[in-house]
Amino acid sequence: MSVHVAKRRLAPADIRGLKGERPIVSLTAYTTPIAKLLDPHVDFMLVGDSLGMVVYGLDSTVSVTLEMMIAHGQAVMRGSERACVVVDLPFGSYQESKEQAFHSAARVLKETGCSAVKLEGGAEMAETVDFLIQRGIPVLGHVGLMPQLINTTGGYRSLGRSDKEAEKIRRDAKAIADAGAFAIVIEGTVEPVAREITGALSVPTIGIGASPACDGQVLVVDDALGIFTDFKPRFVKRFADLAPQISAAVEAYAEEVKARTFPGQEHTFQVKTKPA
């Protein structure tokens, strides 16, 4: 009798162990079908609060709720079996206190089965990161441009151009690494600063709009596939241009429906005639 042995899913410790071995591959994922397609190719999938803009059409990530993150985390887990899955903690679900952060993170892990959570913040969140890790919750950090703070930082822009900004990002990254994060996303940070931080830290850095020297890279999957076309940040490379193909497919479908050429007989269920 054959026994099915489930594949071992990559863990946060595996991701951390890739520093210095090879570049780490990551993309965001929000749905089961996309997770199935990404799973063989990425080291970890990030269920990012970017889903607020990409999936729900919101102006920013600030309005995303914990319930939304849990629902999409569950969907991604159902579609994957190999990649490590990390779920973002949304704005307002962890900043109030360490205890609030633990309650939110514990819900995410218990209700989705994911391996870790991600939270934004630097030195001011280091105590919270340590608190979570000491209680069994792996954390992916996020420094540099932090989308949840756009209302106080003046919108989306690259950071680290001034000495003051660069020094803050360096301090933030070190504080989160020292607190025990298994890796740190560096977003929207000028290349020399991201490169310097990567060389200084013992944990992997995951760049998005940062540096090719980062230990890994992450992109919003809809950006990489050319589906989300509202805007294209400088740091995005479209590895496909699916939006025109989707539009053309829908146009062809509409034309066939109007012409009554779809569905054809081969697409319908017929009553089988009984032999006489």
Enzyme catalytic residues: 187
249 vs 123: CA distance, rounded Å: 49
Q: Long-range CB contacts (< 8 A, 24+ apart) of 224-227?
A: 224/27
* Residue 216 near residue 185 (C-beta atoms within 8 A): no
Which residues lie closer than 8 Å to 240 by C-beta, 6 or more apart?
224, 225, 226
268 vs 198: CA distance, rounded Å: 58
Give the distance from CA 151 to its chain's centroid.
21
28 vs 49: CA distance, rounded Å: 9
* E strands in the chain: 24-28, 44-47, 84-88, 116-118, 139-144, 183-187, 205-208, 216-219
254 vs 235: CA distance, rounded Å: 35
- Paired tokens of 43: 């080291």
- Paired tokens of 220: 């919003």
11 vs 274: CA distance, rounded Å: 58
Q: Is 215 annotated as a binding residue?
A: no
Q: Is 49 annotated as a binding residue?
A: yes
Q: Is 93 annotated as a binding residue?
A: no
Residues in the chain, total: 276
Binding residue positions for 3-methyl-2-oxobutanoate: 49-50, 88, 118
Binding residue positions for Mg(2+): 49, 88, 120
Binding residue positions: 49-50, 88, 118, 120
